[in-house]
Structure formats: C-alpha cells, structure tokens
Chains A and B, each alone.
Chain A
Amino acid sequence: MKKIKIPIGPQHPALKEPISLRITVEGEVIKDADVRLGYNHRGIEKLAESRTYVQNIYLMERICGICSHSHTTCFVQGVESLCGLEVPKRGLFIRMLVCELERIHSHYLWLGVAAHEAGFDSLFMYTWRDREVVMDLLEIISGNRVHYAINTIGGVRRDLSEVQKEKILEGIQFLKKRMEYYTNLGTTEPSFVARVSGVGILPKEKAMSLCAVGPTLRASGIASDIRKDDPYAAYDEIPFSVCTATSCDVLGRVVVRIKETMESIKIVEYLVKNLPSGEIKVRAPRKVKEGEAVSRYEAPRGENIHYIKSNGTDKPERVKVRAPTLANYPATIEMLKSGFIADIPLIFAAIDPCICCAERFVEVIDTKNENTQVLTMAEIKKRYSKSQGLKKGSSVWPL
C-alpha cells in the first residue's frame, strides 16, 4: 500500500498549543511520525540573562500556565543552593503545599482532557467542575489562581492562617471523595477502558532509552520520582509512595495520575496538619556568588530541570530550562507508531502537553453610558448570586 504523509497542526483542535505533527500513514495505520517545534519559542533563556534574580522568578513563573509553581520552585531552589541559604521549615512546607495542590489541579485538568479525547465528555465536565475547588484553594493561599507568585528566594511570600488551613482541609475532603469516584469510574467503566487500554504502547526499555519522564515513565513500570530519588524541599520526611502501572498504555497513564492525585491529597493533609511554626523566609542577598547549580523538580508532568550559572553579579550568566513535555516527545513518537489516526489526539493528550490559560479580571462596559469598570471575581460572584437569587454562603454548584 502507498504511504501518505498527513500534516497535523500547528493549529489543531485536539492540541491546544501550537505544535506540528507530520504523520506518515499506510491506510489507517501510522508508520512514522515527526514533531516540529518552535511555534511558541519566546527566548526566555536569553531574556533571563538580562534580568535580575528576583525579576527572573516572575519570568520563570510565566513559562507555563499550569505548572507555574514548578518552574519558580525549581529556579529558586537553584539560586538558594548557590547562595547557601537555608529556607525555614514553615516556608518549605507552604511551598510543598502549593506544589501538591498544583499537582492535584493539573491531574484533574488532565483527566478531563483525556476523557474528552476519549469521547467521554460527562467525565470532562465533572472533573473540570471539581477542579474549581482546588483552584479556589490556591487562590485562598496565594491570591491567584494560576501564577501563584508565592515563591521568593529564601522562602515564600505569604503565610498560612488557621482559617486558611481549615478551608484547605475542607476542600481536600471534597476532592478526595470525588477522586475516589473517578478511580472507580476510570478503571471500571467498560467503554472508557476499552477506548484507552492497549493504545499508545511504550515498552519499559523504550521509555528508559528515550529518557521519558513523569507519569509517562511511571506508567511503563519504572518507579522514578524526583521527590523520592532526589528529595528537594522537605520531601524526605513526608510519607508518600511512588505510583506506577505496568500496562505501558494510556490506561496505565490514567491509573498513575489518579493514584498520584490520591497520594497528593494525603500529602496536603499531612502538610497542613504538621505545619511547623516559625519564620517563612530568610533574607536573600541581591548578588549571587559565582557558581553553578542543577535544580531538579517533579512537576505534574515529570522531571523539570534548571541549570543556573552565576557570575557574582545580580544577574545570572546562564539559565537553562528543560520542561518535562520536551523530554516526552521522543517517547510520544514511539507511542504513535503502529497506532491508528484516530488515536493521535488521545496518545498526545496522554503525555499531558502544556496548555496555557486564564485571565483574572473581566472588563465590563456599560453600553448606555460607556463607563468601563474592572470587576474582581468576588464582585462577579456577588452579582451572579444576586441575579440567580442565591443566598449568601449557598453553593453556586449544587451537587
């Protein structure tokens, strides 16, 4: 049969960020795949060389719209090790708390995307609704839903109050109950399991040789997690287990992420209940002495690595960033081979490629007198409750 090459992307409804795939097919079977990148290259590494360390925290935050905290944590950890700073325990715990909440929110989002690509849109709607709870928790802690801006060199910028702790535990209970439901649903619902099992096979040896990371690697039976292998912050004293699956397919990746979310929920509970007292940050010097640091971090999508070289000034000599999605591309090509055209979105979504999101305020223009007004989320909620006749404190999303 004749081989045909199909270009997919850079703009494509299945993938919410610009990336181009060239798929060579024979009939409906994929024989070869090629990934073309660079549509979203913003020159952040070059830009980082002309910014101070503090400015760079905010730049790193903007690398990704979902794992924003991953990049800042990875960056500040590197700078802290260069300066020889010891972050107070309470600061580390708050940092880890945001890490784990971010993981929960990312995995909830991913489960929705995977369900959508598998044609199970009710699950997509459910998970994205529940994800609002963890987004709200992050807003309670940091003031922001996406770019939390909680990290600073030497600790964190905001402390946690008793009321916030209570709210977190409350929200976490809800998320736990929902995730138990999805565990049952995602692993036993016959049509969903039939759609995802056996799709996008990545054998263990291939996963190792192609340097796959994160849930993709763990779903191929390799128990590698930076939090265990190379414990940063205070992960060496937190009880948790590394979740793996041995089926090497999309079903395995679903199972790993669901199990990981449950572990993250347990970690959040532990962190809130055992939050030490004391300072949340130490003062950091403006200039960083000469040296180099390799900082690794387990982001929701896998290993994130920053290499930072300082030259004694207040600006870094070089910052190298490798986000987990790039590491998973060679493995994705392997997964696509001998699959079907219809599996492309599902397989691609299964590595959880990064998606950006969110605007934080709404501009309302009164059409009668053209007054422009910027509304906060709280005001919008208030207006919505008023228009819907809801009582104060009643749930907007009745379950």
Chain B
Amino acid sequence: MNQAEIFEKIRTNLSAQITDISMPSPRRIFVSVAPEKLIETLKILKDDFGFYHLSTISGLDKITGFEVLYHLANSFVSLTVRVQIDRAKPEIISICEVIPGAILYEREIQDMFGIKVINIPDSRPLVLPDDWPEGEYPLRKDWNYQPPAETIPGEEQ
C-alpha cells in the first residue's frame, strides 16, 4: 500500500465518519472527526489500516474552542485525527479501550488543558505536582498564574 492508496481508501471507506481529509505534505494525512464518532473511527483505522501505533496526543487551544489531535502511524503514513471540543464543555471520551498505550497522553491532556477525559482508567495528574491548585491549566492561552510569593521561615518580610 502506498500513501495515495491509503488516502483514497480512507476517503471512501470512512466517508460516514470523517468530515474532512487532506494531505498537505508527503506521508502526512489529516482527518477531522466528530467527538462521538472518535472511538468507532479509531477502531476501523486500527483493524483495517493497521494504525495500531499512537505516537502522541496533542492539545491545542484555539481560543474559540479546543482541538485534540491523535497522531497515529502505520508503516507507510502518519495520520492525524482531529477532534473539535466546545470550550464551555471541555470533555472527550477515552480511547484506551482501542489503544491502551494512550493512557499517559490522555492524563497529560487533562493536566495541561483541563479537558476532562471520560472513562479514563487512571485519572491522577501526570506531570503536574499533587498540590497544584485546581482550575489552573498551563497550556491554555489565557493562563496567567502568579505563584504565591515565597516566604523563608525566620526571614523578615
């Protein structure tokens, strides 16, 4: 299978799931999917196209909403599945049932963007400390957190 064949096959076989498909550079395919069709799409991509490898999940703050990008790969192309999320209701379904290796990336998305992953097998913070204040999401564009001033015991303020 070459990249053009994969591109055509995805376009025809997944026409019910995907809303947009493009190949901006060689071996890079981008598709858009509605959040409720994510699991179904990933299952088809894994079983029929061999996209079993998830490279990572990227989050993106677009001010008007969030975008979550699932970077999948097989031995021919790298495929990015794009999902739009409402800023007022930042939620997405966990894909761990299809790709178990996604767990750490989903935890990172929760930490950094405050996008709640539903059905996540393990929802503890991954990169942020345990005493991190609630509601602070560093990779959001409007994040403007000032840490409290450090006090050294015994020093005059």
Bind each other: yes
A268-292 contacts to B (CB < 8 Å): 291-292
Question: Shortest CB–CB separation between residue A81 and chain B, in angstroms?
Answer: 5
Which residues of B have CB within 8 Å of A369? none
- A69 CB-CB contact with B under 8 Å: no
B39-53 contacts to A (CB < 8 Å): 52-53
Given A309-B60, A330-B104; A46-B55 close (CB under 8 Å) = no
Q: Contact string, B53-82, partner A, CB cutoff 8 A, digits 1/0?
A: 111101111000000010101011110100
Name A residues whose Cβ lies closer than 8 Å to a Cβ of B: 37-38, 41, 43, 45-46, 81, 208-212, 224, 229-230, 291-294, 296, 303, 305, 307, 309, 317-318, 320, 322, 326-327, 329-331
Q: What are 7 sample pairs from A and B whose C-beta atoms fall under 8 A apart?
A: A46-B138, A46-B139, A209-B99, A211-B53, A292-B24, A293-B25, A294-B71
Query: Which applies to chain B's interface (DSSP): helix, strand, loop or mixed?
Result: mixed
Question: CA of A186 to CA of B139 in the docked complex: distance in angstroms?
Answer: 45
Question: CA of A229 to CA of B99 in the docked complex: distance in angstroms?
Answer: 21
Question: CA of A307 to CA of B77 in the docked complex: distance in angstroms?
Answer: 15
Ranked nearest first, the 5 interchain pairs of A and B with the lowest CB-CB distance are: A211-B101, A322-B56, A320-B58, A38-B127, A210-B101
Which single member of B59, B73, B105, B138 contacts A296 (CB below 8 Å)? Answer: B73
In the complex, the answer to whether B75 meets A329 with C-beta atoms within 8 Å is no
Question: Shortest CB–CB separation between residue A241 and chain B, in angstroms?
Answer: 15
Name B residues whose Cβ lies closer than 8 Å to a Cβ of A: 24-25, 27-28, 30, 52-56, 58-61, 69, 71, 73, 75-78, 80, 99-105, 112, 125-129, 138-139
In the complex, the answer to whether B128 meets A38 with C-beta atoms within 8 Å is yes
Question: CA of A46 to CA of B99 in the docked complex: distance in angstroms?
Answer: 27
Tell me the nearest residue of chain B to A318, going by C-beta: B60
Which residues of A have CB within 8 Å of B59? 320
Question: CA of A322 to CA of B55 in the docked complex: distance in angstroms?
Answer: 8
Question: CA of A212 to CA of B53 in the docked complex: distance in angstroms?
Answer: 8
Which residues of B have CB within 8 Å of A208? 52-53
Tell me the nearest residue of chain A to B69, going by C-beta: A307
In the complex, the answer to whether A330 meets B60 with C-beta atoms within 8 Å is no
